[in-house]
């Protein structure tokens, strides 16, 4: 069960139009339709960025080592903001496993090692690093957390997911990169999980309505009374409020054969290269219905029972196409 959730993002939100006007208009000069792809088509209005490209890249793009150093510093700082929030009021000696997830950097020992010491966790806490799994990495981390709870149900598990995509902005004047550079921001979320014996009631949340929740490709929440996390104030990049939450009924990940070339992250001399094919929304539209049926199998739930959906928004086309498949409303 998810006992507490906290989220944080670096700095103040930066308007997409400002980033374009002040920096990326020059990078993508001469690329057909780049302004529409970067500013309009993705519907992103503002982003939180650890590295503001207008200042970070004013004198050129740094080497990959400097980029990874920036990722590590930001990951530690955001962990310092989210982890104490989910641990508030908890016995930290009960935390037996700490899972940290990131695709945008690498260090050994990693940020999790530093955070374990700063948080005063047990010396024998089991650290699990989930790296380079891309957009669904959080689900891999959640799966590892659930496995830990299944083996040791008397313990608590911390899960932190952090991405610092701004560390890998670079100059590649193509239509694909106009889309890629316009989509993503930097943020961190931490979750505290604990086991709930079968038949036990979920704890009531004092401030949130009871809403059964589920997600396409994400863990499915039970129909028992649950609480969604309390959001931070609009535009607030700081720590989100914490609340008790949903029981996890099932998780699932799948490999779609023959699709590897459509999405990739490769490390090059000038940073991480992210590739996103325009075919991805259509591929997801075709594969998602069967995937969700297999995810729900054995839970006693059907698609019609899911009242709330959370989709990783890799652009509005993905949200629109998957939403259309399941007949979801804009609300």
Q: How many CB atoms lie within 10 A of CB 113?
A: 16
Residue ranges in 92-187 assigned as alpha helix (H): 111-119, 137-151, 175-183
Which residue intervals of 45-127 are DSSP H helices? 53-56, 64-87, 111-119
Inter-CA distances, 188 with 6, 108, 240, 289, Å: 8, 20, 11, 29
Round to whole Å and give the CA distance between 28 and 24: 6
User: What are the Cα distances from residue 170, in Å, to 55, 61, 261, 264, 304?
Assistant: 13, 6, 21, 16, 43
**How distant, in Å, are the alpha carbons of 94, 262, 277, 320 from that of 281?**
42, 11, 9, 9
Residues with Cβ within 8 Å of residue 79, at least 6 apart in sequence? 100, 111, 112, 115, 160, 162, 188, 190
Are 95 and 157 in contact, with CB atoms under 8 Å apart? yes
Rounded to whole angstroms, the Cα distance separating 135 from 258 reads 18
**Annotated catalytic residue, options 135, 161, 188, 208:** 135
Tokens of 248: 């996890």
Is position 135 annotated as part of the catalytic site?
yes
The string of DSSP letters for 216-245 reads SSSPEEPSS--BPPPPPPTT--SPPP----
Assign 97 to helix, strand or coil. strand
Residue the block writes with tokens 């103040």: 12
Enumerate the β-bridge partners of residue 274. Answer: 265
Residues catalogued as catalytic: 135
């Amino acid at each position: 069960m998810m006992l507490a959730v906290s989220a944080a993002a670096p700095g103040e939100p930066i308007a997409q139009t400002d980033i374009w006007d002040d920096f990326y208009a020059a990078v993508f000069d001469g690329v057909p339709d780049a302004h529409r792809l970067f500013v309009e088509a993705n519907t992103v209005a503002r982003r939180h960025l650890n590295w503001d490209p207008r200042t970070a890249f004013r004198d050129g793009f740094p080497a990959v080592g400097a980029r990874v150093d920036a990722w590590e510093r930001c990951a530690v700082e955001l962990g310092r903001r989210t982890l104490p929030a989910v641990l508030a009021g908890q016995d930290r000696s009960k935390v037996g496993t700490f899972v940290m997830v990131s695709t945008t950097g690498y260090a050994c020992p990693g940020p999790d090692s530093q955070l374990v010491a700063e948080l005063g966790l047990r010396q024998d806490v089991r650290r699990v690093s989930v790296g380079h799994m891309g957009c669904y990495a959080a689900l891999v981390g959640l799966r590892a957390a659930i496995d830990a709870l299944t083996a040791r149900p008397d313990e608590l598990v911390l899960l932190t997911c952090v991405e610092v995509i701004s560390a890998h902005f670079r100059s590649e004047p193509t239509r694909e990169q106009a889309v890629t550079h316009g989509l993503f921001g930097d943020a961190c979320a931490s979750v505290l999980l604990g086991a709930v014996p079968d038949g036990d009631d979920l704890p009531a949340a004092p401030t949130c309505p009871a809403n059964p929740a589920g997600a396409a490709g994400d863990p499915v929440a039970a129909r028992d009374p649950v609480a969604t996390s309390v959001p931070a104030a609009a535009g607030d990049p700081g720590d989100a409020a914490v609340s008790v939450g949903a029981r996890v009924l099932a998780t699932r990940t799948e490999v779609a054969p023959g699709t590897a070339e459509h999405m990739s992250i490769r490390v090059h001399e000038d940073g991480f290269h992210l590739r996103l094919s325009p075919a991805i929304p259509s591929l997801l539209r075709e594969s998602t219905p069967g995937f969700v049926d297999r995810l729900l199998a054995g839970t006693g739930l059907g698609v019609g029972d899911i009242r709330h959906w959370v989709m990783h928004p890799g652009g509005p086309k993905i949200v629109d196409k998957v939403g259309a498949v399941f007949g979801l409303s804009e609300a």
